[in-house]
Amino acid sequence: MKFATLKDGSLDGRLLVVSRDLQRALAVPHIAPSLLDALQRWPAVQGALQAAYDTLSAGPAPADSFAFDPVACAAPLPRSPQWLDGSAFLNHGRLMEQAFGTPPIPHFDTVPVMYQGASDDFLGPHDDVPLPNPADGIDFEGEFGVVTGPVPMGVSPEAALGCIRLLVQINDWSLRALGPHEMKTGFGFLQAKPSTAFAPVAVTPDELGSAWREGRVQLRLQVQWNGERFGEPHGGEMGFHFGQLIAHAARTRRLTAGCIVGSGTVSNAARSAGSACIAERRVIEKIDLGDIRTGFMQYGDRVRMQAVFEDGRPGPFGVIDQRVVAAPAAG
Protein backbone atom coordinates (compact mmCIF):
# COMPACT_ATOMS: atom_id res chain seq x y z
CA MET A 1 0.00 0.00 0.00
CA LYS A 2 0.98 3.63 -0.54
CA PHE A 3 -0.05 6.52 1.66
CA ALA A 4 0.34 10.28 1.73
CA THR A 5 -0.95 13.11 3.88
CA LEU A 6 -2.80 16.08 2.44
CA LYS A 7 -2.30 19.43 4.15
CA ASP A 8 -5.65 20.50 5.56
CA GLY A 9 -4.69 22.90 8.34
CA SER A 10 -4.77 20.25 11.07
CA LEU A 11 -1.75 18.97 12.98
CA ASP A 12 -1.85 15.49 11.42
CA GLY A 13 -3.33 16.26 8.00
CA ARG A 14 -5.72 14.09 6.02
CA LEU A 15 -4.78 10.52 5.16
CA LEU A 16 -4.70 9.66 1.46
CA VAL A 17 -4.44 6.25 -0.12
CA VAL A 18 -2.31 6.67 -3.26
CA SER A 19 -2.53 4.47 -6.34
CA ARG A 20 0.33 2.17 -7.27
CA ASP A 21 1.35 4.45 -10.17
CA LEU A 22 1.17 7.58 -7.93
CA GLN A 23 -1.41 9.16 -10.23
CA ARG A 24 -4.61 9.04 -8.15
CA ALA A 25 -5.48 9.54 -4.49
CA LEU A 26 -8.43 8.79 -2.27
CA ALA A 27 -9.28 10.21 1.15
CA VAL A 28 -10.56 7.55 3.55
CA PRO A 29 -11.91 9.36 6.63
CA HIS A 30 -14.36 6.51 7.25
CA ILE A 31 -11.37 4.23 7.80
CA ALA A 32 -8.83 6.58 9.40
CA PRO A 33 -8.64 10.39 9.43
CA SER A 34 -4.83 10.47 9.56
CA LEU A 35 -1.89 8.16 9.01
CA LEU A 36 -0.95 8.36 12.68
CA ASP A 37 -4.45 7.21 13.61
CA ALA A 38 -4.20 4.35 11.11
CA LEU A 39 -0.86 3.23 12.58
CA GLN A 40 -2.25 3.31 16.10
CA ARG A 41 -5.20 1.11 15.02
CA TRP A 42 -3.38 -0.90 12.34
CA PRO A 43 -4.87 -4.37 13.01
CA ALA A 44 -8.38 -2.92 12.84
CA VAL A 45 -7.94 -0.84 9.67
CA GLN A 46 -5.29 -2.66 7.61
CA GLY A 47 -7.82 -4.77 5.70
CA ALA A 48 -10.04 -1.82 4.78
CA LEU A 49 -7.03 0.24 3.71
CA GLN A 50 -5.80 -2.63 1.53
CA ALA A 51 -9.21 -2.93 -0.12
CA ALA A 52 -9.28 0.81 -0.86
CA TYR A 53 -5.75 0.64 -2.29
CA ASP A 54 -6.56 -2.35 -4.49
CA THR A 55 -9.68 -0.65 -5.83
CA LEU A 56 -7.87 2.61 -6.53
CA SER A 57 -4.94 0.89 -8.26
CA ALA A 58 -6.97 -1.56 -10.33
CA GLY A 59 -9.18 1.05 -12.04
CA PRO A 60 -11.44 2.45 -13.15
CA ALA A 61 -10.79 5.16 -10.60
CA PRO A 62 -13.49 5.60 -7.95
CA ALA A 63 -15.68 8.66 -8.51
CA ASP A 64 -14.43 10.29 -5.32
CA SER A 65 -10.74 9.86 -6.16
CA PHE A 66 -8.67 12.73 -7.55
CA ALA A 67 -5.32 13.47 -9.15
CA PHE A 68 -2.46 13.00 -6.69
CA ASP A 69 -0.55 16.25 -6.14
CA PRO A 70 2.69 15.81 -4.14
CA VAL A 71 3.09 19.58 -3.82
CA ALA A 72 -0.08 19.67 -1.69
CA CYS A 73 1.29 17.04 0.68
CA ALA A 74 2.81 17.30 4.10
CA ALA A 75 5.25 14.69 5.31
CA PRO A 76 3.44 11.33 5.49
CA LEU A 77 3.57 11.82 9.24
CA PRO A 78 3.60 15.59 9.86
CA ARG A 79 4.53 14.75 13.44
CA SER A 80 5.27 11.47 15.16
CA PRO A 81 5.62 10.12 18.70
CA GLN A 82 9.36 9.73 18.18
CA TRP A 83 12.09 10.28 15.58
CA LEU A 84 15.26 8.23 16.05
CA ASP A 85 18.08 8.52 13.55
CA GLY A 86 20.91 6.04 13.28
CA SER A 87 24.24 6.10 11.53
CA ALA A 88 24.03 2.68 9.92
CA PHE A 89 26.24 3.40 6.90
CA LEU A 90 29.64 2.78 8.42
CA ASN A 91 31.52 4.44 5.56
CA HIS A 92 29.73 7.72 6.32
CA GLY A 93 30.43 7.47 10.03
CA ARG A 94 34.14 6.95 9.54
CA LEU A 95 34.33 9.85 7.11
CA MET A 96 32.48 12.10 9.57
CA GLU A 97 34.98 11.25 12.29
CA GLN A 98 37.66 12.62 10.00
CA ALA A 99 35.55 15.61 9.05
CA PHE A 100 34.98 16.64 12.67
CA GLY A 101 38.34 15.50 14.01
CA THR A 102 36.69 13.30 16.64
CA PRO A 103 38.21 10.09 18.01
CA PRO A 104 36.78 6.80 16.75
CA ILE A 105 33.49 5.84 18.39
CA PRO A 106 33.98 2.69 20.50
CA HIS A 107 32.31 -0.42 19.08
CA PHE A 108 31.07 1.57 16.07
CA ASP A 109 31.05 -1.55 13.89
CA THR A 110 29.07 -3.66 16.37
CA VAL A 111 26.76 -1.30 18.31
CA PRO A 112 24.49 1.10 16.37
CA VAL A 113 24.89 4.85 16.87
CA MET A 114 21.62 6.76 17.21
CA TYR A 115 20.31 10.14 18.30
CA GLN A 116 16.81 11.24 19.28
CA GLY A 117 15.60 14.08 17.08
CA ALA A 118 12.67 16.48 17.27
CA SER A 119 9.49 14.97 15.83
CA ASP A 120 6.90 17.71 16.30
CA ASP A 121 7.30 19.62 13.03
CA PHE A 122 8.35 17.63 9.96
CA LEU A 123 8.57 19.28 6.53
CA GLY A 124 6.69 18.22 3.42
CA PRO A 125 8.47 17.15 0.23
CA HIS A 126 8.14 20.51 -1.53
CA ASP A 127 8.18 22.84 1.46
CA ASP A 128 10.70 25.65 1.55
CA VAL A 129 13.28 25.20 4.31
CA PRO A 130 13.52 28.37 6.44
CA LEU A 131 16.85 28.68 8.24
CA PRO A 132 18.34 31.55 10.25
CA ASN A 133 21.86 31.90 8.84
CA PRO A 134 23.87 30.36 5.95
CA ALA A 135 26.95 30.66 8.15
CA ASP A 136 25.54 27.75 10.17
CA GLY A 137 26.70 25.36 7.42
CA ILE A 138 23.45 24.29 5.75
CA ASP A 139 23.57 20.69 4.56
CA PHE A 140 21.13 18.05 3.29
CA GLU A 141 21.30 14.37 4.22
CA GLY A 142 19.54 11.76 2.11
CA GLU A 143 18.29 8.75 4.05
CA PHE A 144 15.81 5.91 4.15
CA GLY A 145 13.66 5.15 7.16
CA VAL A 146 10.99 2.92 8.62
CA VAL A 147 7.80 3.62 10.57
CA THR A 148 7.00 1.11 13.28
CA GLY A 149 3.97 -0.30 14.94
CA PRO A 150 4.20 -1.03 18.67
CA VAL A 151 7.62 -2.43 19.61
CA PRO A 152 8.13 -4.30 22.91
CA MET A 153 11.11 -3.55 25.10
CA GLY A 154 13.96 -6.00 24.52
CA VAL A 155 12.76 -7.08 21.08
CA SER A 156 15.23 -9.12 19.02
CA PRO A 157 16.50 -7.70 15.71
CA GLU A 158 14.67 -10.44 13.82
CA ALA A 159 11.37 -9.83 15.59
CA ALA A 160 11.85 -6.07 15.19
CA LEU A 161 11.66 -6.47 11.41
CA GLY A 162 8.10 -7.69 11.89
CA CYS A 163 7.24 -4.44 13.70
CA ILE A 164 7.91 -2.35 10.56
CA ARG A 165 4.73 -0.97 9.04
CA LEU A 166 5.99 1.50 6.44
CA LEU A 167 9.13 2.64 4.58
CA VAL A 168 9.95 6.30 3.95
CA GLN A 169 12.53 8.49 2.21
CA ILE A 170 14.10 11.30 4.26
CA ASN A 171 16.08 14.52 3.97
CA ASP A 172 17.54 15.05 7.43
CA TRP A 173 18.65 18.69 7.30
CA SER A 174 21.79 19.58 9.25
CA LEU A 175 23.63 22.73 10.30
CA ARG A 176 27.25 21.64 10.27
CA ALA A 177 28.78 24.64 12.02
CA LEU A 178 26.64 23.92 15.10
CA GLY A 179 27.26 20.18 15.27
CA PRO A 180 30.79 19.96 16.73
CA HIS A 181 29.95 21.89 19.90
CA GLU A 182 26.77 19.91 20.51
CA MET A 183 28.60 16.61 20.05
CA LYS A 184 31.29 17.62 22.54
CA THR A 185 28.68 18.39 25.22
CA GLY A 186 27.66 14.73 25.26
CA PHE A 187 23.98 15.65 25.03
CA GLY A 188 23.58 15.11 21.28
CA PHE A 189 22.11 17.28 18.54
CA LEU A 190 19.51 19.99 19.01
CA GLN A 191 20.16 23.28 17.20
CA ALA A 192 22.24 21.45 14.58
CA LYS A 193 19.19 19.48 13.46
CA PRO A 194 16.35 21.67 12.09
CA SER A 195 13.09 20.11 10.92
CA THR A 196 13.47 16.90 8.93
CA ALA A 197 11.75 16.52 5.53
CA PHE A 198 10.12 13.48 3.94
CA ALA A 199 9.19 12.34 0.44
CA PRO A 200 5.42 12.45 -0.11
CA VAL A 201 4.63 8.74 -0.08
CA ALA A 202 5.09 6.13 2.64
CA VAL A 203 4.82 2.51 1.49
CA THR A 204 4.36 -0.91 2.97
CA PRO A 205 7.53 -3.01 2.50
CA ASP A 206 5.88 -5.33 -0.05
CA GLU A 207 5.72 -2.40 -2.53
CA LEU A 208 9.50 -2.71 -3.01
CA GLY A 209 9.36 -6.39 -3.95
CA SER A 210 12.87 -7.83 -3.98
CA ALA A 211 14.29 -4.36 -3.30
CA TRP A 212 13.24 -4.85 0.33
CA ARG A 213 15.49 -7.60 1.64
CA GLU A 214 17.86 -8.23 4.53
CA GLY A 215 16.10 -5.42 6.38
CA ARG A 216 17.44 -2.84 3.94
CA VAL A 217 16.04 -0.61 1.18
CA GLN A 218 17.91 -1.91 -1.87
CA LEU A 219 17.47 1.24 -3.98
CA ARG A 220 19.75 4.01 -5.15
CA LEU A 221 19.10 7.49 -3.81
CA GLN A 222 19.67 10.02 -6.56
CA VAL A 223 20.63 13.45 -5.19
CA GLN A 224 20.88 16.67 -7.18
CA TRP A 225 22.03 20.04 -5.86
CA ASN A 226 20.91 23.03 -7.96
CA GLY A 227 20.18 20.68 -10.84
CA GLU A 228 23.62 19.05 -10.84
CA ARG A 229 24.31 15.42 -10.02
CA PHE A 230 25.63 15.00 -6.47
CA GLY A 231 25.42 11.26 -5.94
CA GLU A 232 23.38 8.09 -6.14
CA PRO A 233 24.57 5.86 -3.26
CA HIS A 234 22.86 2.50 -2.75
CA GLY A 235 20.81 1.70 0.35
CA GLY A 236 21.99 -1.89 0.49
CA GLU A 237 25.33 -0.96 2.03
CA MET A 238 23.91 -0.40 5.54
CA GLY A 239 26.19 -1.89 8.17
CA PHE A 240 23.18 -2.50 10.43
CA HIS A 241 19.75 -3.47 9.09
CA PHE A 242 16.59 -1.76 10.28
CA GLY A 243 15.71 -4.60 12.65
CA GLN A 244 18.99 -4.05 14.45
CA LEU A 245 18.37 -0.30 14.66
CA ILE A 246 14.87 -0.82 16.10
CA ALA A 247 16.13 -3.39 18.59
CA HIS A 248 18.84 -0.97 19.71
CA ALA A 249 16.25 1.77 20.28
CA ALA A 250 13.96 -0.61 22.17
CA ARG A 251 16.59 -2.24 24.38
CA THR A 252 15.42 -0.42 27.53
CA ARG A 253 11.98 0.91 26.56
CA ARG A 254 9.05 0.13 24.34
CA LEU A 255 8.31 2.13 21.19
CA THR A 256 4.80 3.25 20.29
CA ALA A 257 3.09 3.05 16.90
CA GLY A 258 4.27 5.77 14.55
CA CYS A 259 7.89 5.86 15.71
CA ILE A 260 10.26 6.69 12.81
CA VAL A 261 13.75 5.17 12.66
CA GLY A 262 16.21 6.56 10.11
CA SER A 263 19.16 4.86 8.49
CA GLY A 264 21.48 7.84 8.64
CA THR A 265 23.03 9.29 5.50
CA VAL A 266 23.15 6.78 2.64
CA SER A 267 26.83 6.26 1.85
CA ASN A 268 28.90 3.86 -0.24
CA ALA A 269 32.59 3.05 -0.05
CA ALA A 270 32.99 3.48 -3.83
CA ARG A 271 33.81 7.10 -4.63
CA SER A 272 31.94 6.73 -7.96
CA ALA A 273 28.61 6.62 -6.08
CA GLY A 274 29.02 10.23 -5.00
CA SER A 275 27.47 11.39 -1.74
CA ALA A 276 24.11 12.15 -0.17
CA CYS A 277 25.37 15.06 1.95
CA ILE A 278 27.80 17.92 1.49
CA ALA A 279 29.87 17.19 4.60
CA GLU A 280 30.82 13.79 3.20
CA ARG A 281 31.91 15.27 -0.12
CA ARG A 282 34.00 17.86 1.72
CA VAL A 283 35.93 15.33 3.73
CA ILE A 284 36.49 13.18 0.63
CA GLU A 285 37.90 16.26 -1.11
CA LYS A 286 40.23 16.83 1.82
CA ILE A 287 41.39 13.20 1.75
CA ASP A 288 41.69 12.78 -2.02
CA LEU A 289 42.60 16.29 -3.17
CA GLY A 290 44.29 17.79 -0.14
CA ASP A 291 41.81 20.66 0.32
CA ILE A 292 38.07 21.30 0.64
CA ARG A 293 36.52 22.78 -2.50
CA THR A 294 32.77 22.58 -1.87
CA GLY A 295 30.90 25.05 0.31
CA PHE A 296 27.61 24.52 2.08
CA MET A 297 24.19 25.68 0.86
CA GLN A 298 23.07 29.27 0.47
CA TYR A 299 19.63 30.87 0.38
CA GLY A 300 17.92 30.02 -2.91
CA ASP A 301 19.74 26.70 -3.34
CA ARG A 302 17.64 23.62 -4.13
CA VAL A 303 18.11 19.94 -3.41
CA ARG A 304 16.24 17.11 -5.14
CA MET A 305 16.18 13.49 -3.98
CA GLN A 306 14.53 10.45 -5.55
CA ALA A 307 14.99 6.75 -4.93
CA VAL A 308 15.29 4.57 -8.02
CA PHE A 309 15.31 0.84 -8.70
CA GLU A 310 18.36 -0.87 -10.18
CA ASP A 311 16.82 -0.75 -13.66
CA GLY A 312 16.34 3.02 -13.40
CA ARG A 313 12.59 3.01 -12.67
CA PRO A 314 11.49 5.64 -10.17
CA GLY A 315 11.08 4.35 -6.65
CA PRO A 316 7.74 4.38 -4.83
CA PHE A 317 8.30 7.35 -2.51
CA GLY A 318 8.02 10.24 -4.95
CA VAL A 319 10.41 13.19 -4.95
CA ILE A 320 11.82 15.56 -2.36
CA ASP A 321 12.46 18.94 -4.01
CA GLN A 322 13.19 21.79 -1.60
CA ARG A 323 14.60 25.30 -1.56
CA VAL A 324 16.52 26.93 1.31
CA VAL A 325 15.12 30.32 2.31
CA ALA A 326 15.75 32.89 5.02
CA ALA A 327 13.72 32.30 8.16
CA PRO A 328 11.33 35.16 8.96
CA ALA A 329 12.43 37.46 11.75
CA ALA A 330 11.07 36.44 15.12
CA GLY A 331 8.52 38.79 16.67
Which residue numbers in the chain have pLDDT < 70? 99-101
Nearby residues of 230 by Cβ (< 8 Å), 6 or more positions away: 223, 224, 274, 275, 276, 281
- What are the residues whose beta carbons fall under 8 Å from the beta carbon of 6, sequence distance 6 or more? 13, 14, 15, 16, 25, 27, 72, 73, 74
Element (H, E) at 44: helix 42-58
Residues contacting residue 244 through CB under 8 Å, at least 6 positions apart: 88, 112, 157, 160, 215
What's the pLDDT score for residue 100? Answer: 64
Which residue intervals of the chain bear CATH 3.90.850.10?
A: 83-326
Identify the pLDDT of residue 141: 98
pLDDT of residue 329: 85
| Residue 31 burial (CB count, 10 A) | 19
Give the residue from 146, 120, 154, 117 showing the smallest Cα distance to 39.
Answer: 146
Q: What length does the chain have?
A: 331
User: What pLDDT shows up at residue 108?
Assistant: 82
The reported pLDDT for the residue numbered 81 is: 97
Range 83-326: architecture per CATH? Alpha-Beta Complex (3.90)
pLDDT at position 103 is: 75
Query: Which of 96, 2, 120, 12 shows the shortest CA–CA distance to 53?
Result: 2
